Each structure stands twice: as C-alpha cells, then as structure tokens.
C-alpha cells in the first residue's frame, strides 16, 4: 500500500512538472504577443540646417534652441520628438509638431505650389514628423540685419532707423539695452531692384544721441551691420 502511495505521489509530481513546462511554452509566446500588441514608443527627428551666416532661434515642444551661423559651413542641429506607439499591424503615419523658427537674417517664407517665394513671411509653422525618419528644414537667408552690442557703461534706451526715401524714425527695440547686453533686428535687404540706404540713431540713457551710422547702403541679403559700443 505504501509503495502504491509513493508511485502516485511521484506520478503527481511529474504531472505538475510537465504541466509547468507546458504552461511556460504556452505563456511565453502569449506574453510576447501582449508586448507586441501593447506597442513600442517611436521617435522621429527634426534637423534644422542653418545656411545663413548668423544665428537661428527656434522652439520645439517648449524647448528653446540657438543654432549659430557660419560663413564656411552649414551648422545643423537635430531634435528628436515622440511620434506615438508603433504596433504590430498599425502605426501613426505622422505627428504634427509646432515650430517657432526665425533668425537674425532669416524668416520662414511662404511659397507657391511650384516653389516660387511669395514674399509673405512668418515665424510659426507646423511640421509633420514621421516615425523613424528625419525631417530636414533648410534655412536660407531672406533678410539683412543690424546687431547692437552694448559694451559701454550706459544703457541704450532706443535704437531706430530711417531710410533715404523716408524721414520717419522706426524704433526696433521695445526695451532698454543694458550695459553688457545686445539686440538684433532683421531689415529688408537692399538689391539691384530695390536700393535701400539705412541711417541709424542710438539714444543713450544720459541723453546723448549717436547718429554716426548713416547712409549704410550695402546691407544685402545675409549682411548684418554690427554696432559695438565701447
């Protein structure tokens, strides 16, 4: 009788062991299938390529970036963004990502279906980013510009300009430029068709006015007048 009990007990252990191994074989693919069905997070890349000589400034997903310009190369910066989850039989075609983009001599320009620029400029757009792909954004210069670097000990309270065909002073700052700070502004570039001569007026906190930067007529596309105050 005892031998019979032992045989039954051993038979029970073998059945349990075999059942456990069988369950592992059955559950392993099932668990893997659940992981695949649940989906994997994917990303896409936005690559900003600066083909101007001056800084670009852009914002993606609330993060601000500065991409320096260069006269000898095309600096670039890549930002990865989440594009949702990729499933076994389905994935999102693309996600829309808001982009703020501008430069010291660059603005986004609208174009016709044929690719011809329209002269309509803006700084905000929406990109369609695809999973596991890189969307390249090429930034070619569209404007001229002026940059003031205040290395003096006196704050600048206004920077303005007028052109040869208008005596109206146009201010290009909305707050004082404190000592050690700088500011920049885009300008319409002069060209063979549209000749523009700029004169700049700098007003200091102590009442002094500097109007020595006058009749600047060589501000072509991607050219920037740099004013450094000592």
Instruction: Tell me the pLDDT band of 84, cut-offs 50, 70 and 90.
Output: confident
Q: Is the pLDDT of residue 18 over 80?
A: no
Q: Is the pLDDT of residue 87 over 90?
A: no
Q: Which one is predicted more confidently, 35 or 95? A: 95
Q: Is the pLDDT of residue 117 over 70?
A: yes
DSSP annotation string for 23-92: HHHHHHHHHHHHHHHH-EEEEEEEEEEE-SSS-EEEEETTEEEEE---SSS--EEEEEEEEEEE-SS-B-
pTM, to two decimals: 0.80
Q: Which domains does the chain have, with CATH numbers?
A: 40-139 (2.60.40), 144-229 (2.60.40.2890)
Give residue 150's pLDDT: 98
109-136 mean pLDDT:
94
Of 30-34, 63-67, 96-100, 159-163, minimum mean pLDDT range = 30-34
Q: Which one is predicted more confidently, 74 or 35? A: 74
Q: Which residues contact 206 (CB under 8 A, 6 or more apart)?
A: 154
Of the candidates 38, 37, 41, 33, which has an alpha carbon nearest to the alpha carbon of residue 92? 41
From residue 21, alpha-carbon distances to 13, 14, 25 in Å are: 12, 11, 6
Give residue 136's pLDDT: 97
């Amino acid at each position: 009788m005892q031998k019979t009990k032992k045989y039954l007990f051993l038979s029970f252990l073998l059945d349990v062991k075999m059942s456990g191994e069988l369950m592992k074989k059955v559950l392993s693919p099932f668990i893997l299938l659940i992981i695949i069905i649940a989906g994997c997070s994917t990303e896409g890349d936005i690559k900003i390529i600066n083909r101007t000589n001056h800084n670009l400034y852009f914002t993606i997903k609330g993060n601000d970036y500065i991409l320096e310009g260069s006269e000898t190369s095309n600096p670039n910066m890549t930002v990865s963004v989440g594009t949702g989850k990729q499933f076994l039989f389905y994935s999102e075609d693309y996600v829309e990502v808001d982009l703020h983009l501008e430069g010291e001599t660059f603005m986004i320009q609208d174009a016709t279906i044929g690719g011809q620029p329209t002269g309509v400029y803006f700084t905000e757009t929406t990109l369609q980013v695809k999973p596991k792909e890189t969307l390249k954004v090429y930034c070619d210069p569209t404007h001229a510009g002026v940059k003031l670097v205040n290395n003096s000990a006196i704050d600048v309270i206004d920077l303005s300009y007028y052109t040869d065909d208008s005596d109206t002073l146009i201010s290009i700052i909305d707050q004082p430029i404190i000592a050690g700070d700088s500011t920049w502004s885009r300008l319409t570039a002069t060209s063979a068709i549209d000749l523009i001569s700029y004169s700049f007026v700098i007003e200091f906190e102590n009442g002094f006015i500097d109007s020595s930067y006058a009749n600047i007529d060589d501000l072509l596309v991607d050219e920037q007048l740099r004013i450094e105050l000592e």
